[in-house]
Structure 1
Amino acid sequence: MKAMPSITVRNVPDEVHRALRVLAAQHGRSAEAEIRDILANAVKPQGRKQLGTLLAEIGRRAKLSDEDFAIIEQVRDKTPAKPMTFE
């Protein structure tokens, strides 16, 4: 497992620390886990969609039904891909 970087934050006001602990308790996690979540959400690009979300949106726009997906699954090539060789 790769070692993760650490951050130390000094001089956190008492009221901020208390509020953080309350928020962490409300989410059922440690204060450290709450801080990681807050930091991750703060630096993520806003409005960026995940691939699965985009694919689901394309399916909705095309008005594909579960039956359509079942047909696609039946006719798709299920042969495993062969790795590339450079010989």
Structure 2
Amino acid sequence: MAEDFARILDHLDRHDAARREQRIDGILRAIDVLSDNPLIGRPAEAELRELVIGRDVSGYVALYRYLSEFDTVLILAIRAQREAGYAPP
């Protein structure tokens, strides 16, 4: 996930995106919601889920897996909504 944030920050810097800090803060706050609502994301492939964060040019999708036996959420990848696919976990 650290690589995903580095890629997102690099992209925001290269394109001089407005509100860079607010975008990252929004991603982190959305991920925090999963601690109380781990099934809020839409079902994806296999046992994975996707949390949609924001929309349009400032929208992201977090791919995650909820391990109910451990009450743990594993964030596998974060991508801009306009990006295709995820990097291998």
TM-score by length of 1: 0.24
Structure with greater proportional strand content: 2
| Structure with larger Rg | 1
The structure with more helix, counted as a fraction of residues: 1
TM-score of the superposition, structure 2-length normalised?
Answer: 0.24
Which one has more relative contact order, counting CA pairs under 8 Å at least 6 apart? Answer: 2
